[in-house]
Amino acid sequence: MAEIKDPENTVILETTKGKVVIQLLPQVAPEHVARIKELAREKAYDGVVFHRVIQDFMAQTGDVEYGKKGSETFNPGRAGMGGSAKPDLKAEFSATSHVRGTCSMARSQNPNSANSQFFICFTDAPWLNKQYSVWGQVIEGMDNVDKIKRGEPVSDPDSIVSMRVAADV
């Protein structure tokens, strides 16, 4: 298992394919890291599906409004169109590259529209650099990310079983 050096800035993502450990990058995107931790601590990500998973690109999840299995608002046809009840975040673009295992916020065409959705890169994606807010890097479990079912949308999608800040576990 990867050594967790900073439990307050590490999240443990348990997925239907296995565990994924993500090192948070508060020095790169402090507001985005704070939002990820806030939603994880509220258990908002538990049950949320991977609604958009593109081979050789990325796996997207985090729609806590329409993508959370078992919730009143779960709607597989709308998964990916929602966020959280919290306000959108101002972009925190950086020089941090989108490489295999990078965790970055999804957004609309508006750079300041990131809310709760995020994606994990399967491969290097340099065209995303300085256009999306990078907030983390997978340090363990990319083999499990690689197993997530593909699709756009995904039929019978994999999901986040739980997402916790390591300091709370």
For position 50, what pLDDT does the model report? 98
pLDDT digits (tens, 9 = 90+) for 101-159: 999 999 999 999 999 999 999 999 999 999 999 999 999 999 999 999 999 999 999 99
List, for residues 21-58, the tens digit of each pLDDT value: 999 999 999 999 999 999 999 999 999 999 999 999 99
- What's the pTM? 0.98
Report which of 2, 131, 133 is spatially closest to residue 62, judged by C-alpha positions: 133
- The pLDDT assigned to 53 comes to 98
pLDDT at residue 15 in the model? 98
Name the β-bridge partners of 103.
120, 136
**DSSP states of 116-145:** S-EEEESS--GGGTTTS-EEEEEEE-HHHH
Domains of the chain (ranges plus CATH)? 7-165 (2.40.100.10)
